[in-house]
Amino acid sequence: MNIKQYLDSTYLKTASQAGLSEEQNSDVIKKAINDAIIEGFKLIMIRPEHVVLAKEMILKANSNLLVGTVIDFPEGKSSIEDKIKEANQAIEDGADDLDFVCNYEAFKNGEIPLVKEEIIIGTQIGLAHNKTVKWIIEVAALSDKEIIQLSALIKNVVISNFKEDDYASVFVKSSTGFYKTENDLPNGATIPSIIMMLENASPLPVKAAGGVRSYKDAIEMIRLGVKRIGTSAAIEIANGENAPNEY
């Protein structure tokens, strides 16, 4: 198994979140992109404003590294119009993967038509431009029942509106990695949440993100059936090591 081809090496912190100056954070981002090129990871996941930089670095290095970015990150509460505007800009900048934060608060409030509409429109835009689309459901903000229901909702919307050939390009993704939990509970992918997603999102693929910090954890996720893993510890995982628990 080439575990590197499962890994979306991720750096999504702003300078203020990282406690760095803009220049220092820019250096961290450049290093993350360069490391992903050198290591041969599947993809580098960065914020939208850094997509152009990543594409330039990848082109210069003659690399096959993909570039992913997040849409309406990290809360997913923006209007559909704002989501689409951000997605279109990311496509124009050259992003290969669009990871939308699903409006999970609207889902929890019973605003199902709104959630369905954003899934349809966001997926249409991505697929029309040959992009991979992922819908982040933020498992730490949901009950087990809600994880099951939202995974199934995304699956059903995709099956009802898109061709079978498209299914492999539309993921259900666990987490942003930025959700604030109480009492230091996990804020990302856990084995139970991933099992629920796999059972209820199939035939759509699942991406585990947030909290995957060791080779052992990554292998277990892959054995369960996830197709991609988003992690800020990609190098440690690829080297068979454990990373510190903080993002």
183 or 71, higher pLDDT: 71
Q: What is the pTM of this model?
A: 0.96
**Does 215 score more than 60 pLDDT?**
yes
Catalytic entry in 99, 131, 155, 217: 99
**Does 241 score more than 90 pLDDT?**
no
What tokens appear for 216 in the block?
A: 């052992």
**Does 245 score more than 70 pLDDT?**
no
Whether 30 is catalytic:
no
Helix (H) or strand (E) holding 36: helix 22-39
Phi and psi, residue 80, nearest 5°: -60, -40
Whether 116 is catalytic:
no
* Lowest mean pLDDT segment, chosen from 114-128, 171-185, 208-222, 227-241: 171-185
d(CA 4, CA 247): 19
pLDDT at 244: 72
Residue in the structure block whose two tokens are 């819908």: 135
Give the homologous superfamily in CATH for domain 3-238: Aldolase class I (3.20.20.70)
Percentage of residues of the chain with pLDDT beyond 90: 90
Cα angle 37-67-195, degrees, rounded to a multiple of 5: 100
In the chain, domain spans? 3-238
Q: How many Cβ atoms from other residues are within 10 Å of residue 127's Cβ?
A: 18
Whether 99 is catalytic:
yes
1 — pLDDT class (breaks 50, 70, 90): confident
d(CA 141, CA 120): 22
242 — pLDDT class (breaks 50, 70, 90): confident
Residue in the structure block whose two tokens are 């277990």: 220
